[in-house]
Amino acid sequence: MRTAYTADQIRAAERALMAELPHGTLMQRAAAGLAAACADLLGRVYAARVVLLVGGGDNGGDALYAGALLARRGARVGAVLAGSRTHEAGLAAFLDAGGRVTGGEAIEEADLVVDGLVGIGATGALREPYGALAAAAGSAPGLVVAVDVPSGVDAGTGRVEGPAVRATLTVTMGAYKTGLLVDPGAAYAGAVELVDIGLGPYLPEPDAVAQEAADVHALLPRPVAESDKYRRGVLGVAAGSDLFTGAAVLAVGGALRAGAGMVRYAGTSAPVTQVRAHWPEAVVTLLDAPSIEHVGRVQAWVLGPGLGTGDWAHELAAAVLASDVPVLVDADGLTLVARDRDLLRRDAPVLLTPHAGELSRLMGVGRDAIEAARLEHARDAAGELGVTVLLKGSTTVVADGAGPARVNTTGTSWLAAGGTGDVLSGVAGALLAQGLGCFDAASCAAYLHGLAGRLAAAGAPLAAADVAEAVPAAIRAVAGRREPERTPPGRRSFAR
């Protein structure tokens, strides 16, 4: 599990550690790790053209000391001094090693640009000349390494409010920062490499965590010798309509592929026909009224994909949410509860799985504002509504208003296809029915769904049914503890 922290948490840990170390030790550790990462990325250091973008803070000092180390290995290193002041000892070491001060035009000729403009405490849009230098680094042909966090990215939230450095690699010191895991900041970070400088014992409870394969495997339910279909979890699915039959098929398929012992589907004639044809394993109830009275006992419900938003759908949603088991609400179900929040007044747990547009309608906040601060708005919704929120999109985040949020790192842009969100609902619903709480079910489902998307796509277009088909392979991969490659920038999960 990768743990991530806010800027305030990191700074407090750094102060505690620095109080026990000789002056400058922490910076030397950071610079050594940064120089090693730059050398690895370059491959050949001798005669490489390296340009440092140096601000006035400690990040600028890290860059200068790392530049000195690279210069001693034969690199041609120039430094653009952007701040009104410069780390004096770092600059002296840099010049002594053969580095030189240069102008911003050198960025265009660099094999590697090192972004040391601002540190983790910076918020808001970059001032000039920092903004122009960040833009120049982003458009330059060479590789770009950011020190700790790309300049222009809020380390604690991932917000980007103006020009920001788009890094090939971010070398972050001591611990991951939340803004490196959550878009839009994550999209600017590129690959992220952690340099251990000794902060571990001084770090508090994390702000956010990113699950890895072993973490998901430890949570997934597994059948035992005495298991039967009822003990393995019975999921109810209230989804689909005469207009949107496919949503029912995909949600049921996701649930069956994710290990539900039984799926009870309840719907009208057209989706019932399709579910029977695609999934003969499902127990189907044809509804002639918006009631679940004759569906049978379930351990959890999935409510909403393709259900419609008229009076009939509202009555069915009210019946499902009046039950005493966990309910996952997605798609049209979210539109219904946005119109009538009283539907969420219940004692049993609720998991909401919106994308930014659906959360916008639910919370009365602009979609752009949500996309700019995904984690913040997921947390706000969870706290205000008393639910768990899985916010889908370029970074999928899960929040329940208590403790660290979870950020999903699997996925592929090929998941930006109709119906993939219905599959995710089925996967998460199956995990709820098997006994996981909303927070664990949501985060494990997001991980498996993203991994299934990668396996199904393999770099090519996919359909939602392909994702459902690949869920067992994703579960097998997790059982083998095989960690997938880190998602490259711009290729994160977009479930719809």
User: pLDDT band for position 486 (50/70/90)?
Assistant: very low
Is 247 annotated among the ligand-binding residues? yes
Mean pLDDT of the 135-152 span:
95
Is 151 annotated among the ligand-binding residues? yes
In a domain, 494, yes or no: no
Rounded to two decimals, the pTM is 0.91
The per-residue pLDDT for 481 is 63
Is 332 annotated among the ligand-binding residues? no
Is 428 annotated among the ligand-binding residues? no
The per-residue pLDDT for 480 is 86
- Give the model confidence (pLDDT) of 13-59 as tens digits: 999 999 999 999 999 999 999 999 999 999 999 999 999 999 988 99
Whole-angstrom distance, CA of residue 4 vs CA of residue 181: 8
Euclidean distance between the first and final Cα of the chain, in Å? 26
The per-residue pLDDT for 268 is 96
183 and 291 together in one domain: no
Whole-angstrom distance, CA of residue 379 vs CA of residue 374: 9
User: pLDDT band for position 229 (50/70/90)?
Assistant: confident
Contact 260, 458 (CB under 8 A): no
Domain of residue 467, CATH code: 3.40.1190.20
The per-residue pLDDT for 224 is 77
Is 383 annotated among the ligand-binding residues? no
Is 148 annotated among the ligand-binding residues? yes
Cis (ω within 30 of 0) for the bond into 184?
yes
Is 120 annotated among the ligand-binding residues? yes
Is 58 annotated among the ligand-binding residues? yes
Is 107 annotated among the ligand-binding residues? no
Domain hosting 351: range is 213-479
Helix (H) / strand (E) containing 1? none
Contact 176, 146 (CB under 8 A): no
Is 130 annotated among the ligand-binding residues? yes
24 and 116 together in one domain: yes
Is 420 annotated among the ligand-binding residues? no
286 and 175 together in one domain: no
Show which of 176, 209, 242 is a domain's final residue.
209
The per-residue pLDDT for 483 is 54
Is 156 annotated among the ligand-binding residues? no
Whole-angstrom distance, CA of residue 324 vs CA of residue 8: 41
Tokens of 275: 């579910």
Is 62 annotated among the ligand-binding residues? yes
- Give the model confidence (pLDDT) of 464-478 as tens digits: 999 999 999 999 999
Is 405 annotated among the ligand-binding residues? no
- Give the model confidence (pLDDT) of 382-432 as tens digits: 999 999 999 999 889 999 988 899 999 999 999 999 999 999 999 999 999
The per-residue pLDDT for 274 is 98
- Give the model confidence (pLDDT) of 265-305 as tens digits: 999 999 999 999 999 999 999 999 999 999 999 999 999 99
The per-residue pLDDT for 484 is 55
Is 121 annotated among the ligand-binding residues? yes
338 and 437 together in one domain: yes
For 452-496, the DSSP string reads HHHHHHTTS---HHHHHHHHHHHHHHHHTT-PPPPPPTT------
Whole-angstrom distance, CA of residue 204 vs CA of residue 9: 7
197 and 268 together in one domain: no
Show which of 175, 209, 243 is a domain's final residue.
209
In a domain, 495, yes or no: no
pLDDT at 171 over 60: yes
Is 61 annotated among the ligand-binding residues? yes
Is 152 annotated among the ligand-binding residues? no
The per-residue pLDDT for 494 is 40
177 and 228 together in one domain: no
Is 43 annotated among the ligand-binding residues? no
In a domain, 388, yes or no: yes
Domain of residue 47, CATH code: 3.40.50.10260
